[in-house]
Amino acid sequence: MDQTLDLNGVLVRPGHLDRPAQEAMLADILRVQAEAQPFHPVTRWGKAMSVAMTSAGRFGWVSDRRGYRYEERHPSGLPWPPIPPSVLAVWDAVVPGARPPECCLVNLYREGARMGLHQDRDEADLSQPVVSISLGDEALFRVGGIERGGPTASLWLRSGDVAVIGGPARLVHHGIDRVRAGSSDLVPGGGRINLTLRVVT
């Protein structure tokens, strides 16, 4: 890794994973998805999200009319699969010294899916970073400030890129404006898989 980009305090490492590493990680994530089927969470207001989600680790992130929260079981009632070693290795490489992650949220963006600006603030220890790994189609990543409504900066994330949201930028607003369909042939059926690793407790 010879380059790190600073996007409003979010540190992006372009091309952190080469193609063979991406393919190996994708195989691990497809096994996670087979064990814990992706689902479309519903917001507090009853609207289904455009992004399909599942998780690995001790906790998974869920949303329904009761709100956003972490749960120890998939909506099917089964425990979440373990976080694959290939994913844990990225955490260890980019945030050495951080506590081990307890959740790997797996977001599947098919064509037309997006994620509005939000903060990752459902975790108990906000001194711990969030690490994001991009696989598949390119996505326009937008980062704002701690307060909503300020200026934002954007960057196209490509397959193999890794971003670290931590330190003073831990609570910045961020989101995915759009996905460039067909820009990668990595994910079966097309689209983008985003992995976000978090310490929950």
When mean pLDDT is compared across 1-5, 79-83, 134-138, the lowest value belongs to: 1-5
Q: Is 61 annotated as a binding residue?
A: yes
Q: Is 118 annotated as a binding residue?
A: yes
Distance CA 149, CA 172 (A): 11
Residue-wise pLDDT for 15-54, tens only, equals: 999 999 999 999 999 999 999 999 887 776 667 778 889 9
Between residues 56 and 40, which one has the greater pLDDT?
56
Q: Is 69 annotated as a binding residue?
A: yes
Residue-wise pLDDT for 84-112, tens only, equals: 999 999 999 999 999 999 999 999 998 88
Q: What percent of the chain lies above the pLDDT cut of 70? A: 97
Domains located in the chain, CATH noted: 5-198 (2.60.120.590)
Between residues 151 and 46, which one has the greater pLDDT?
151
Q: Is 120 annotated as a binding residue?
A: yes
Token pair recorded at residue 117: 């600006």
Q: Would you tell me the crossing angle of helices 19-35 and 85-94 to the nearest 10 degrees?
A: 130
Q: Is 148 annotated as a binding residue?
A: yes
Q: Is 177 annotated as a binding residue?
A: no
pLDDT band at residue 141 under the 50/70/90 scheme = very high
Q: Is 174 annotated as a binding residue?
A: yes
Percent of the chain as helix, strand, coil, to the nearest 5: 15, 35, 50
Q: Is 30 annotated as a binding residue?
A: no
Between residues 177 and 68, which one has the greater pLDDT?
177
Contact 191, 137 (CB under 8 A): yes
Contact 190, 110 (CB under 8 A): yes
Q: Is 31 annotated as a binding residue?
A: no
Q: Is 193 annotated as a binding residue?
A: yes
Q: Is 156 annotated as a binding residue?
A: no
